[in-house]
Structure 1
Amino acid sequence: MFGLLNVNKPPGLTSRDVVNRVQWLLRQSGGKTKVGHAGTLDPIASGVLVLCLGPATRLIERVQQMEKRYVGTFRLGCTSPSDDIEIEPTPLDNPPIPTLDQIEAALPAFTGRIEQVPPCYSAVKIAGKKSYERVRRGETVELAARPVHIYGVEIVRYEYPELQLAIRCGSGTYIRSLGRDLAAALGTSAVMSDLVRTAIGPFSIADAMRGSSIEIETVHQHLHSPLDALPLLPRRPLTDEDEKLLRNGMPIDGPLDSPESAGVNQHGALVALLAPKQGKLWPSRVFVAG
């Protein structure tokens, strides 16, 4: 199998649980297809989880770099070491109650390129160990701020203490941290109580298959072309001879007007990523075994 699956992960399952389910089904049907996911969702979160199957696992980074959309719900006036409800939140004593106008006025500071400290209960690695593993062993963890890009934040609903936001962001953004930092700017604290990833690039929750009922038949029915991971790349049609050369690591003739393109054979299948060099198109990554 060579393609992508857009899965609506239900709450309560880890991203790895979904990957394991698909791998198990493929093995039961006699296959040994490699499966990976393009962006972890926490167990309490739900929504779009893109799985990459077979050679498409080499496109995971491409999917990870796509814009992501979330709807996050936050409970103001309380705090938690995990910045969400995974650990029982602790209420603050007499916290301020921000107005809608105050929240709207604070949002512009959290758009564009910002510096963000990940939650200590996260998979960020410190000297080869995940941060949450160190914290659970009783270690004190201090994570450095890192740049992330927030394309937009809008208020969906506000009924204190609950605030719901629609967020468009780039790779590496922690929505828990965004809620925590927004609350701090308002003089209070917050924990994330719910999170739904509604889209990754062209993969939307409206088109996703239900993660709670994955079967081998639905895997086949919902398999996307790997080209969906490359929506902005120009397509280069390949002849049989082109395909043979590329599969053997050799260059082909073709237009050199793009820094990268996708070589597609006569059946519409992705064969290779192509880059111009020395007047030829060279394969930078080949997806069909030679």
Structure 2
Amino acid sequence: MSSDSITESESLYDDLEQMSVRQLLESIHAEDQKILPAVEKTIPQIQRLVEQVVERMQKGGRLFYIGAGTSGRLGILDASEIPPTYGVGDDMVIGMIAGGDQAIRKAVEKAEDNAALGWQDLQTYNINKLDTVVGIAASGRTPYVIGAVKKARENGILTGCIVNNPESELAKHVDVAIEAIVGPEFVSGSTRMKSGTAQKLILNMITTSLMIKLGKVKGNKMVNMQLTNQKLIARGTQMIVDELGFEEAIARRLLLLHGSVSKVFEVEKRK
């Protein structure tokens, strides 16, 4: 087997249709247990990337995730959860997918094979040298993603990638390559499984550590979360009660008045 074909290689299991449901579930679970050790090995590379992105974001830079298919959808998912969780604008972490927003739900034919389209899509955001582009591709050979990071790097923009094959073409064209080698998929080539799970874990690590270092967390609390439902209002109220010792009714009133836990803390600190 060549080093660039692990994600497309044959499953270690055969005759899946003859397995019982219990056998299928236990076998999938056995494969999933290989994910965490593979992700752990990438922590030094994740650290390198995050430390450089923090410096750029402190100066107004943005983080772009770019991918196709499952990889693109995972980037968009991670980016879309940052504003409500940390109270930042939706232009701080941006997810992009080959084929545009319609490809989130339904595949757009041949969009991922266009090597020029990724950079064109990035340019619509007036991308600049304070920004970072992270390409996501299980195979590491998606033209849409490779073309985007190559042009970004040529223009002095920090680049990274999350891939599931070693020594991939994509990894050759970025500053920081994160390679989570999880092995063959349970269903041969179905990279929505182990590869996708590893990508999701790494995306969680990147953006969570970024937001913490950018001051969006106090202690272990999401003090800048958007108050979009009653559950989050109750959570924010309890944070204020715990931190400042106010009665619940007062804490809730202050939270709704100022709009976030962090703003309540700021106002009370100035008194």
* TM-score of Structure 1 vs Structure 2, range by shorter chain: under 0.3
Q: Normalising by structure 2, report the TM-score.
A: 0.24
